[in-house]
Structure 1
Amino acid sequence: MALRVLVVGGYGNFGSIVCRHLIDMPGVELAISGRDPQKLERKVAELGASCERWCGDAMGAGFTAALRAMNIQLVIHTGGPFQGQPYAVAESCIEAGVNYCDLADCRTFVNGIGILDARAREAGVVILSGCSSVPTLSSAIIDEQRHHFKRINSIEHGISSSAKMPGLSTIEGVLAYAGKPIRQLRNGQVHEVMGWEDLTLRKLQNLGTRALANVDVPDMDIFASRFGAHTLSFKAGAGLKLGGVANYLFALGMRKGLVRDHRVWAARLHRWGTWFERFGDGKSAMYIDVRGVGLNDQPLSMMAQLTALNDKGPEIPSCAAVALAAKIARGYLPEPGARPCVGEISVDEYMAAINDPQNLGLSVMFSDGMR
């Protein structure tokens, strides 16, 4: 029996990528939902007649009944921004007895999902938040190499995107904490940095030098408990240095009260960013630096980098949900409950879901205190 999957926001930036992978996946029957009937019909026509649709508000009262009527078994929620969003979609899934995952990378949203744990367990469903680059893939890469370390002391990681602009909702989400304090860890103590500030340059393999700044992600809470790290930081930036400078100046404006509504400026920055896309190189990457002690009690460092070419970067956050759907369709039964999506998908499963080795590659290198 095929797994019936509903993608909420299926005509959006990330939702479209998820649907493109799922429409021809063996053992999966795809349905999409959205609030705009014209966009919904265009996407259904693009995907083909085998794709069902439901037009409505997934956060509204009618969503539970729609899930039951369509016999949906897994909901993939791509409708960001998740900053400040309630758990209404997940709660409807619990009420309907449907498994759920989302593409959120909002720290409070992902790490607060446990509030639904008791209800999800009672309903016998799994509610997985953060089924995306962070924390799903970032934690999977470290999990795979964890056996090399006797102790992990610090994890510094980040993402540098290509110049191609993501959807407006993504821009709204990442600018929500511009100029606001972000809790990180330094030597075991909580250390506050300001969002999109502390602009730095980092040289990335095959990408040259990129501008990066402080960004808030769920990993800042998860990695302390999962890996025992005492120093944690995360940075991100656009493919063009000009974008990093623009985000930095915006953050200063927010912090000093010169800018009030980040959503108005998100639309402007999104529009301006599309003007400069042609100057980008189409390359993006996630990097992870892990430092600690090896099994021989000597210092050990790991440097991992997942590189995407030809503007394939958006495949990375989108395909954690694709990998999860494929795994469930093959018979995987996640343990019921509500939690961040870590430990559910391996690196190999993730890369198989993307299935584009010509444009995506992962490198992992180690160095010890003797070198």
Structure 2
Amino acid sequence: MKSHQIARARRGTAAGVVLLTALSLAACSEEVDAGSGEASSASTGASAEAAAALATHLQPLDAYPVPTEPIDASPLVGETVYYVPITQQSPQFSITGQALTEALGTVGINTQTCNGNGTPTDISACIGQAVNAGAIAIVADAISYGLASNAYDSARAAGVPVIIGNQVPDEEHPADETLAWVEGAGSEIQVALADWVAVDSGGAADVLINQSMDGTTPGYYVADAQARFDEVCPGCTTTINEVTSANFSLIPTSTSAALLKDPNIDYVNAQFAQNLQGTQSGVEQAGRIGKVKGTTGSVQLGGLQALASGTFLAAAGAQASVFQGWVDADAAIRMALGAELPEYTIPYRLFTQENIGDVTLSEEAEASGEWFGPATFRADFATLWGVS
């Protein structure tokens, strides 16, 4: 189930937040080998569903899901699109911003980046700056409507369309000609990490999750992971440690405190890669390096290099951030021209010791998009936009 479908199911309840309906899964009569994801002969508490799904999470795409409806971008030459990430501490947003700039540059559109710094004040200032500068569109990455509702309302009233990425759509603010939602793979990545933990632990893990409190969407992603644990690993337990971009320096201390409070924790999930370093520092402070395994989402080159080192990080999920930049460019072009948007899908992949050796860990490979599949999407988008 896609993250927006999951979220809509939650918001349809009176409380507004419910977990996925647990599937009726029989316990596997085979033990799962943590290293390979293959089953052996003994009993385990991890579901065969997790092992089967894990094999898919680890594989690259056969092809990127590029839209098919062409549009002429030439009327927008010389115009400017603003990119506002919630925080530039995140390596994912850096890559997406660079890709957005490259993509729009192919059709002569300029890009201006403004760091949201994880605070409503800075985010609103960035959006206001975009409006005052006469931007033709604003791409707001991982910024919920509630974090900057007045600024969003003002931009839309001024005729500047807003594309909100990496967020569960807010049903109080449905998409229209001034607002679009381009979801990422946040839920899918957290579910993939849950599958990996279930398999790696043999069905009995105590997981600390450093959950981002930057808006409501990260909580939906974590709830999906917890629901997945209920489905495929009933012997797994989770503990939530709340962290924020605005209080980044407090992550080591809070992580250490959580580990000291529960010495049974054997997996630690830094929900997003910008929190990985602080999370690992907390593990070190607690004297638990080598005793717990780390996982994270939204990983980029630095995180994959850390995974390859084998020091702390054992599994990392990533979405195709370069492709997302080109998708955001496509959405900005179409909205600026008043065209209907296609349904976008942002791919993801899980990386572990099992497949990291097959990945080229270089800036060139990261920028190409090859980690996720055949990287022909640049030419495909250029053709859609009328670039010869």
- Bin for the TM-score computed over the shorter chain: 0.3 to 0.5
| TM-score, with length taken from structure 2 | 0.38
| TM-score, with structure 1 as normaliser | 0.40
Give the structure with the higher percent helix.
Answer: 2
| Structure with the largest fraction of strand | 1
